[in-house]
Amino acid sequence: MTILDIPELALVALVGVSGSGKSTFAARHFAPSQVLASDAFRAMVADDENDQSASADAFGALHHVAGVRLRRGRLTVVDATNLQPHARAGLVQVAREHDVLPVAIVLDVPEALAWERTQARADRDFDRQVLARMQRDLRRSYGQLAREGFRKVHVLRGVEEIDAAEVRLDKLHNDRRELTGPFDIVGDVHGCRAELEELLARLGFVLHRDDAGRPVDAVHPAGRTAVFVGDLVDRGPDSPGVLRLVMGMVAAGHAICVPGNHEHKLLRKLRGQDVKLTHGLAETMAQLDAEDPAFVTGAATFIDGLASHFVLDGGRLVVAHAGLKEAYHGRASGRVRSFALWGETTGETDEYGLPVRYPWARDYRGAATVVYGHTPTPTPEWINNTLCVDTGCVFGGKLTALRYPERELVAVDAQREWYAPARPLVSAPTRPDTVLDLADVTGRRHLEHAYGTLTVPAENAAAALEVMSRFAVDPGRLVWLPPTMAPCSTSTVEGFLEHPAQAFGDYRSAGVERVVCEEKHMGSRAVVLVEREPGPFGGGVVHTRTGRPFFGPPWDGELLDRVRAAVGTAGLWDELGTDRLLLDCELLPWSAKAGGLIREQYAGVGAAGRAALPAALDALEAAGARGLPVDALRDRMTARRAEIESYSAAYRTYVAPTEGLRGVTLAPFSVLAGAKVTFTDRDHGWHLALADRLCAADPEFFTPTRRQVVELADDAAVTAATDWWLALTGAGGEGMVVKPYAGPAARSARGSLLQPGIKCRGREYLRIIYGPGYTDPAQLAALRRRSLGRKRGLALREHALGLAALDGYAADVPLWRRHALVFAILACESEPVDPRL
Ligand code: CTP
Ligand code: MG
């Protein structure tokens, strides 16, 4: 039996004449979806698998599909004769583009047998000479395959060998996804053996020494694994000592290690290549001179055996010396190795003559955490889920380790500056992951998050981009946007479009037992992010439901000052252990923000009605007096005049004089998040109790939210809440929002997210929405046919995005990731825009 070793991710080219059994072989050893056959692609593009004139197009399509599969990390087998160098070159190129290994499997059967088989097939019709030419091409191919770039060439000669062959898929060396840690990932050591010993001890490792007292292993009692990011050697006082310890740990299974550029160079030197003894290599060579030659040989073998990078912990962690962009994770090629060792450079040099490194981390959008070294920085900073743990120990900085998955840093100081740096250690610009990329949000985008999935159409993204880029507050502080809210199911109660009976019914049928009815303030939604320290950027932000600043300076700042003071007076900073809070509020009165809208839209309608209807009635009176039959029309106009009065009264309730912040109040009803914490799992009793404390702290500025807690099975409580709503709306209130008492992230018994709130608006208030005369029985009947499905779906999707965005804020995920969620909420709310306009 011949075992064919093939990397798990490879491009496999079958090579053989027609009738050699390639398709048969492919069907036996690979899944149908893994096999791309030229015949099938000819049929796909030309409806005829033997149409040779379609070959160029067929191969074009085949290469494209092969490329897509390889990009997605899928093993791909190409079933074509692959006898011509140019045909194979195309495949090698596709493999290279995706940094996977090209492999060839040659099936070589006697020409006579291939001819016999071909003749037996109805779907093959060509001369013997064609087969003979193929056979000649095959002979010629033998010497060329390896040179063409195939990293493995398996040759199977004769039917027996072909039939007996078995394919074995090998994991790539860099694939250690089965190792789940926990890990302690150590930055560039550069021969600082004493600091390494100290760091390992600090991490809890127990050092083992040989008879000469030299450390040869370190074991963690809790089974933690050390991970070395490379650059163990050069510049420092004891590179051999570091090598000895790390080699011992790796051999014993207590550590894993990737190579750095310094190991790479050392290996070339040890192999006798012409290498300049710069950047500390001279010191290492001198130190190695004092070592036993067997140790030096062992070190060379060790370095030679190191994989360019590791993919660990189920793919959630990647370690490479200079970092690694996402497309290269788990791939194997020259350029992957080169990126892992040196990183990408821009081709420029800085003022110290050192190459400028391409800031790949800034553009990193991968899900895997990438930990690396190579570029010394004073303090490690997370950039888009990547972290450099080289803190320049050999230059007198620190030796740092990252505990994973805890994400804690442990560092020890260098004993001294062992080597003068060519340039001073400069920190990366602070929070460099605040750089957003247009490509993060534009176009049609599919979002997957912890609460669901969603596709944002390109048209909606375009509309959201307009608002986001021109009007919205700093994306870093735009933590969350409120979801839209669906109304209750349409009421069947005489004269009502919305009624509490339906709001309660909606939750009851979702299995909710207890709800809270909150007075719906009629103002403007305000999201307040307030920071304990006022700070140079205002100490927070207050924005509208579309992310715009509220009134602008200086009032937004004053508003934040008021909130900050109240949070302090109420003692919430310390009690909640946070230095910032995100509050969901309504800002009152409505006219404070919506004055223009009220004047232009609502007052205009009222004024027109009040001017026109009395005149119309006068004319109708006069006509009636002359005996004309206008009674019906006059009655209708009389009714309309009453409706217009009710309409004007409805919006006027929400108008009050304000000047700056004078007359403005804030009604908070949810405390959504703090520093590294969300409160979406707290029940509304908790949320409202905190709101009450803010009201108590500054009763002039905060408006309390009246509420009723209702057990839905308790008929008396339901009746009481209904009466409460009737009184509230009868006195001009907008209505109420009914929420699951369990809190903003409440779920149904079946585990799905519930509507976070259902609004139940008052009969008079709805005149503002549906028009003065909507209570007319005919209009009401038409409105009852309103469809709520879309609104409900939208509300739930936006709610889910909002919860994910809050979690992301608390978990300090890269800005681009949480911003994409907030952006999607805005996109859901936006009218689609034709992206061509
Ligand atoms: N065949 C066979 N015994 C084998 C392998 C193949 O009898 N061990 C027969 C197949 O049943 C088929 C013919 O030989 O009828 C050709 O085999 P196939 O696998 O189709 O050969 P390919 O190399 O794929 O030929 P082509 O290049 O023409 O597609
Ligand atoms: Mg075939």
Separation of CA 112 and ligand 1 centre (Å): 13
Atom of ligand 1 at shortest distance to CA of 107?
Answer: 23
d(CA 225, CA 45): 53
Q: Report whether residue 21 contacts ligand 1, using a CB cutoff of 6 Å.
A: yes
Q: How far apart are CA 736 and CA 488, in angstroms?
A: 11
| C-alpha distance across the termini of the chain, in Å | 65
Q: What is the pLDDT of residues 698-711, one digit of tens each?
A: 999 999 999 999 99
Distance 588 CA to ligand 1 centre (A): 80
Whether 161 is in the pocket of ligand 1, judged by its Cβ within 6 Å, is no
Strand-pair category, 580-588 with 317-320: unpaired
Instruction: For ligand 1, say whether the CB of 38 is within 6 Å of any of its atoms.
Output: no
Contact 701, 666 (CB under 8 A): yes
- pLDDT band, residue 430 (cuts 50/70/90): very low
Cβ 19 under 6 angstroms from ligand 1: yes
Query: Is there an atom of ligand 1 within 6 Å of 18 CB?
Result: yes
112 CA to centre of ligand 2 in angstroms = 17
Note whether 175-413 and 487-590+664-786 share their fold: no
Superfamily of domain 487-590+664-786: DNA ligase/mRNA capping enzyme (3.30.470.30)
Question: 140 alpha carbon to ligand 1 midpoint, in Å?
Answer: 22
What is the sign of the dihedral through the CA atoms of 549, 553, 556 and 560? positive
- In degrees, rounded to 5, the angle at the alpha carbon of residue 99 between the alpha carbons of residues 96 and 100 is 90
Mutate to test the pocket of ligand 1, among 24, 55, 134, 137 (most ligand atoms within 8 A of CB): 24
C-alpha of residue 600 to centroid of ligand 2, in Å: 75
pLDDT at 629 > cutoff 80: yes
- CB count within 10 Å of CB 194 equals 16
Identify the DSSP state of 836: T
Q: Which of 15, 23, 159 to mutate to test the pocket of ligand 1 (most atoms within 8 A of CB)?
A: 23
Of the candidates 833, 832, 750, 825, the one whose C-alpha atom is nearest the C-alpha of residue 485 is 825
355-364 average pLDDT score: 84
CA of 153 to the centre of ligand 1 (A): 21
Which is nearest to 169 in space by CA: 76, 97, 66? 76
Using a 10 angstrom Cβ sphere, with 0-12 exposed, 13-18 middle and 19 or more buried, the burial of residue 575 is exposed
Q: Give the rounded percent of residues in the chain with a pLDDT score beyond 90.
A: 83
Crossing angle for the helix pair 281-289 and 239-251, nearest 10 degrees?
80
With cut-offs at 50, 70 and 90, classify the pLDDT of residue 578. Answer: very high
Range list of β-strands (E), 589-732: 665-674, 677-678, 707-711
Does residue 756's CB lie within 6 angstroms of at least one atom of ligand 1?
no
Segment 71-83 shows an average pLDDT of 97
Pairing label, strands 183-186, 175-176: unpaired
Q: What is the per-residue pLDDT across 107-140, written as a single tens digit (0 to 9) for each?
A: 999 999 999 999 999 888 889 999 999 999 999 9
Residue closest via CA to ligand 1's atom 6 equals: 21
Report the distance separating Cα 157 and Cα 138, nearest Å: 12
Query: Mean pLDDT over residues 13-26, rounded?
Result: 97
Q: If you take atom 14 of ligand 1, which residue's CA is the nearest one?
A: 117
Element spanning 207, H or E = strand 206-209
Confidence band of 363 (pLDDT split at 50, 70, 90): confident
Q: Is the bond preceding 589 in cis, omega lying within 30 degrees of 0? A: yes
Give the residue-averaged pLDDT of 72-91. 97
Closest residue (by CA) to atom 2 of ligand 1? 21
Please say whether the beta carbons of 739 and 510 come within 8 A: no
**Could you tell me the distance, in angstroms and rounded to a whole number, from the CA of residue 98 to the centre of ligand 2?**
26
Cβ-proximal residues to 231 (8 Å cutoff; 6+ apart), any chain: 188, 189, 190, 260, 261, 262, 263, 321, 373, 374, 390
Q: Is 106 in the pocket of ligand 1 (CB under 6 A)?
A: no
In testing the pocket of ligand 1, which one of 117, 133, 160 has its CB within 8 Å of the most ligand atoms? 117
Report pLDDT for 433.
66
HSE-up (13 A, CA, CB side) for residue 502: 19
Tokens, residue 359: 């800031």
Beta carbons of 550 and 556 less than 8 angstroms apart: yes
Instruction: Say if domain 175-413 classifies as CATH 3.60.21.10.
Output: yes
Average pLDDT in the 248-258 region?
Answer: 98
Q: What is the CATH number of domain 2-170?
A: 3.40.50.300
Element spanning 519, H or E:
strand 514-519
Where in the chain are the domains?
2-170, 175-413, 441-486+788-837, 487-590+664-786, 591-652
Centre of ligand 1 from the C-alpha of residue 19, in Å = 5
